[in-house]
Structure 1
Amino acid sequence: MAGRERGGTALETGAQALTGQLGKTIQRLRKAYNLSLSDLAEQSGVAKSIISQIERNETNPTLATVWRLSQALDMSVERVLASSDDAPFLEKLSRADTPILVSEDGLCRLSIIGWIKTVEWLQYYDFSAAPGGELDSEGHQRGSVECLSVLAGTLEVEVAGEVETVKQGETLRYRCDRRHVIRNRSDAPAHAVMVCLLKAAVLD
């Protein structure tokens, strides 16, 4: 028990050394990620009232609290504590760190370049399809919309029996709350960026 008390005191002592920029940093990151106080409270396990006090610099949080908030904001504690009011949010993933999904036929690849924290409402992919490749997807939640911007080659999109061809430089938006298929019927590889809007139920 004494060891726990000493640990707690150390956390409090360390927290008291934080500058007044911490609250502004937490608030800036929260708003940048479009999170409400309630959202951040739910994701971090820190009470909404405490987060509000931290953002207004009305309390000195423990480092344990800062750690939980930094995890919810997908930032290291060091970066959160080091951030100044005008510091940009920069996060770089190497090619090896970028998850890749492959279609059943092995000819289409989806590199997940979107932020994992937004996967429930926004998904962002780098899509490539070899000649003859087909990506057959089940419907997402009701009202979802997918945006496909072709950077090279030509792709064909089928949604509920309707078929549309998308060429280089063109963007196609379509309902993806039902089965949808993307095909490369050409003899050349195709490359596109795909964005899925899920949570907003934009068509409701």
Structure 2
Amino acid sequence: MNQAMSDDGGHAAHEAIAGRLRNLRRKRGWSLDRTAAATGVSKAMLGQIERGESSPTLATLWKIATGFGLSISSLIAPSERIPGTDIGRQGALPVWSDGQLQIKTLFPFDAALGFEWFELTLPPAATHLSEAHESGVLEHVLVLAGTLSLLIDDRWVALSTGDTARFAGDAAHGYRNTAEMPAVFHNLIHYAPGTHHDG
């Protein structure tokens, strides 16, 4: 799904985000101006996302989720899955892509546990830079296939298949794949207690 913008699944995912953003605004009684102030995303961009005229980047979605006090998974893949015992079938797991980074939601955010768990695929020669998330966020990475470099504390650290890393997500960080094959890795994002909800 490297070209999610052009396939039906990618279009459906972005339509779902558009609807989710509209519903969140209505539920809270927020205007586009109020939403722009809370998220740091321009009113024009928010309107384009809601109308399905723009495919937001992951960085933009993080800003929107943070502004609403949501986890990223509750914005990109709201779930009907029940907390506790949970079975997710391979073909039924939600997948989202910004055209470069593909994100499969393995376990959506669970407020009782304080984390969400993703499988990410970064294509060859791709780099994804992330702004600092809110205070207290920790990221845990396990490389499943290929090699991955992480930008942590202003330096790139190389990881190979089977390597792990944990780092503060509340500082700028990044992911880079310099290999000729996709890098596939798990990313578990842990939020500070009481800071996020499902919307």
The structure showing larger relative contact order (alpha-carbon pairs under 8 Å, at least 6 residues apart) is 2
Q: Which has the larger radius of gyration?
A: 1
With structure 2 as the length reference, what TM-score do the two structures score? 0.50
